C-alpha cells in the first residue's frame, strides 16, 4: 500500500503475465519447468493422501481391537501380578515397580487384553 518497491515486483509480474507473444522453441525450457514442478506437486499430494489413509486405517484398527471388558480384565490381572499373586499367570519385570513404565500402562494393558482374547479364541 503506497509502497513503491512492492509495486515494482507486482508491476513486473503483471507485465510478464500479459505477454501474448506466441510460444516458440525458446520457451521449451519454461514449459518443461512448469510441468516438472506440477508433477512434483502431484507426487507430494499423493504421498500426503496415502499417509492420511494409512493413519486412518491404523486408528480404526486400534479402536476395535480390544473390548472395554478385556481391558478391565487385563487391569485386574496386572494388579494381582503387581501385588505378588503368583496364580495370576503373569510375571512382571522388576522395572514395573519403579514407576518408569506407568506412562505406557494403557498400551501394555491393551496388549495384555489382546493376548487374553487370543488365548480365549484358541481354547
Determine if 5 is a binding residue for another protein (CB under 8 A). Answer: yes
Tell me whether residue 44 or residue 76 sits nearer to another protein (CB atom).
44
Distance CA 105, CA 107 (A): 5
What b/e readout covers 84-106, taking b as 16+ CB neighbours within 10 angstroms? eeeebeeeeeeebeeeeeeeeee
Using the contact rule CB under 8 A, the part of the chain among 35-43, 53-61, 68-76, 107-115 near another protein is 35-43
Determine if 98 is a binding residue for another protein (CB under 8 A). Answer: no
Task: Out of 2, 17, 68, 93, point to the residue binding another protein (CB under 8 A).
Answer: 17
Determine if 2 is a binding residue for another protein (CB under 8 A). Answer: no
Shortest spacing between CB 46 and another protein, in angstroms:
11
The DSSP code for 88 is: G
Task: Out of 16, 86, 93, 94, point to the residue binding another protein (CB under 8 A).
Answer: 16
Do 86 and 92 meet the contact criterion of CB atoms below 8 Å apart? no
Task: Out of 8, 50, 53, 62, point to the residue binding another protein (CB under 8 A).
Answer: 8
User: How far is residue 84 CA from its own chain's centroid?
Assistant: 39
The DSSP code for 66 is: S
Determine if 65 is a binding residue for another protein (CB under 8 A). Answer: no
Amino acid at each position: 500500500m503506497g509502497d513503491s518497491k512492492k509495486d515494482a515486483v507486482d508491476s513486473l509480474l503483471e507485465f510478464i503475465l500479459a505477454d501474448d507473444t506466441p510460444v516458440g522453441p525458446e520457451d521449451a525450457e519454461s514449459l518443461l519447468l512448469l510441468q516438472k514442478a506440477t508433477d512434483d506437486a502431484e507426487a507430494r499430494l499423493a504421498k500426503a493422501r496415502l499417509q492420511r489413509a494409512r493413519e486412518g486405517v491404523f486408528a480404526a484398527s486400534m479402536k476395535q481391537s480390544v473390548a472395554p471388558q478385556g481391558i478391565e480384565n487385563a487391569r485386574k490381572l496386572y494388579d494381582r501380578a503387581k501385588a505378588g499373586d503368583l496364580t495370576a499367570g503373569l510375571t512382571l519385570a522388576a522395572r514395573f515397580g519403579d514407576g518408569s513404565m506407568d506412562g505406557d500402562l494403557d498400551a501394555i494393558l491393551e496388549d495384555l487384553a489382546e493376548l487374553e482374547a487370543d488365548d480365549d479364541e484358541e481354547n
